[in-house]
Structure 1
């Protein structure tokens, strides 16, 4: 006699599945609650932070907040301004090799952009306009110190777009522009969108900018494994600069360190008109980028290659070639400056 199927099996399976889902949910909630508590009660948010660069460091009182400005080198000569990139843990250490190299021969300056390093890290929406105004304030102060001499300025990554706008708005401040691994030449961030606009989502920023969970989310983003992962993507190699890694970690664990990165993650710091900005530049432009890592899409750079005021070079490096091949980068830049006289 054939046995009848056990009709209780489906019900048992459903019950087990439901129990597993509930257990997973409770585990996830428990893990989230544990991380919130760990972030607020255990992780240090006032780590010791020495100056990123040698020399003198001043704090400029500006209408966009306090701006930290490093300076070194001889008193005479044409000043060089170096501008770091934008990311979750950005700061002036990113220009350290160039700063130390050129301090031996000319006045050199580097700022912490608003929301980073020793500059004001207030809770507000950070935009390209804010960054450009900070560059204007710093450029004006440097020219004041050097009898109105026009600057050479070099910016990294996304900050290249801010420097381009600053030079279009106040061309009298600059003799030349340097762009290292600039954004805005790739398929995603190039564009001829609204002038002066940004790609920000107020909803996305509001969702993360909640004290209860905002700082814990940021702490996860700037944990040591996460930061090493992103630097390796920047370098296109596991051989990152350990000094930068250590300083970035300390800089990201300061009061208010999450505010500017939240605007970065929500898109507010990305201009909509990058291609328009670069198209309009008439000052001499030096551009260099690497070929390794996740930041190697420069498909639209070819249209600038033949322009008489543009010099574009590539190097077998990641996105920060000045850390990997400082001598070659400096020789390329010096040749460019010698040619523009």
Structure 2
């Protein structure tokens, strides 16, 4: 087992009627223009003057706040930390509707406003994993004063095919493919086929670049993919509608301190286009000898590197 904690009891999952909380702390549910959103919060009794930290999971068929659990459980001991579940995932609303880049970006901005309603209007630190890095970067570009720093873990938008797309708008969405996946006759059944434990393990092995995956994450992935409506947001994801063509332009527009990290194993190792930001004064790039989830595989090393980055970020001005 990894440092993320013991595996979830498999028998208990089979008998569970509701999805258990992916992390500890207090669960919050809010109504919003993008539907019902769920987020979790925890922290020490006296967090001091350290800004809150917002964590955002990746986007895939089985995404949930469990994907940021190692960081959430670590940082809750020293600062107030929040874990958001994006529309269509985890405990947030999963209805059959259109899932868009705008919806995901707005969900992050809504969560930030909720955090600032608790802590005042000072800027926060935020970290996102994989494709959600695009949504977080867009949120920062639209509301820069709300953020003190930005961390991108295995972010999308830096592959060789992303070169030369910085001035293009729109997404990579394929309507015909989404229509195929959501065809009523097989929509739900096909998703169940794609989310068996065997298939989830196969994709986690590709993400890790190793068979030494986090078993607790696998078990939670299985349960979250077997909730009502679990297929709708993932079908927009696999059809390309959540990938923005203009994301290189968004990354290039960032002026606050940015920490980017990625691994060298598995299916997510093409970062040829990171040359566009390498060497910029506000960008720090760290490469780990892991797969795409370095905060699971090399938790201590990851946290030490991230803490070193945060130590160099200027303190937030008074709200």
TM-score normalized with structure 2 length: 0.90
Q: Which runs of 5+ in 2 are unaligned?
A: 1-13, 315-319
Q: Residue 322 of structure 1 corresponds to which residue in structure 2?
A: 295
Q: Residue 7 of structure 1 corresponds to which residue in structure 2?
A: none
2:39 is the counterpart of 1:69? yes
Contact 1:92 1:111 in 2 (8 A): yes
Select the structure that is richer in helix: 1
Q: Residue 240 of structure 1 corresponds to which residue in structure 2?
A: 213
- Structure 1 residues 188-209: Cα deviation after superposition (integer angstroms, max 9, x where no partner): 34532533x2111122111221
Aligned residues: 297
Q: Which has the larger radius of gyration?
A: 1
TM-score normalized with structure 1 length: 0.85
Q: Residue 67 of structure 2 corresponds to which residue in structure 1?
A: 94
Q: Residue 52 of structure 1 corresponds to which residue in structure 2?
A: 22
Contact 1:47 1:250 in 2 (8 A): no
CA distance in 1, matches of 2:138, 2:241: 16
Q: Residue 114 of structure 1 corresponds to which residue in structure 2?
A: 87
User: Please, which of 152, 162, 166 is the counterpart of residue 179 of structure 1?
Assistant: 152
CA distance in 2, matches of 1:228, 1:193: 38
SS in 1 for 2:89: coil
Q: Residue 192 of structure 1 corresponds to which residue in structure 2?
A: 166
CA distance in 1, matches of 2:71, 2:167: 33
Q: CA deviation at 1:169?
A: 0.2
Q: CA deviation at 1:57?
A: 0.5
SS in 2 for 1:177: strand
User: Please, which of 97, 102, 121 is the counterpart of residue 129 of structure 1?
Assistant: 102
Q: Identify the structure with bigger relative contact order (alpha carbons < 8 Å, sequence gap 6+).
A: 2
- Structure 1 residues 156-185: Cα deviation after superposition (integer angstroms, max 9, x where no partner): 000001111000000111000000000111
Q: Residue 84 of structure 1 corresponds to which residue in structure 2?
A: 57
Consecutive aligned runs of 4 or more in structure 1 exceeding 3 Å deviation: 44-48
Q: CA deviation at 1:45?
A: 12
CA distance in 2, matches of 1:299, 1:264: 23
- Flag the 1:229–1:307 CA change in 2: closer, same or farther, 3 A: same
SS in 2 for 1:125: coil
Instruction: List aligned pairs for 1:6-25, cutoff 5 A.
Output: none
Q: Which runs of 5+ in 1 are unaligned?
A: 1-43
SS in 1 for 2:31: strand
CA RMSD of aligned residues (A): 1.5
CA distance in 2, matches of 1:221, 1:96: 24
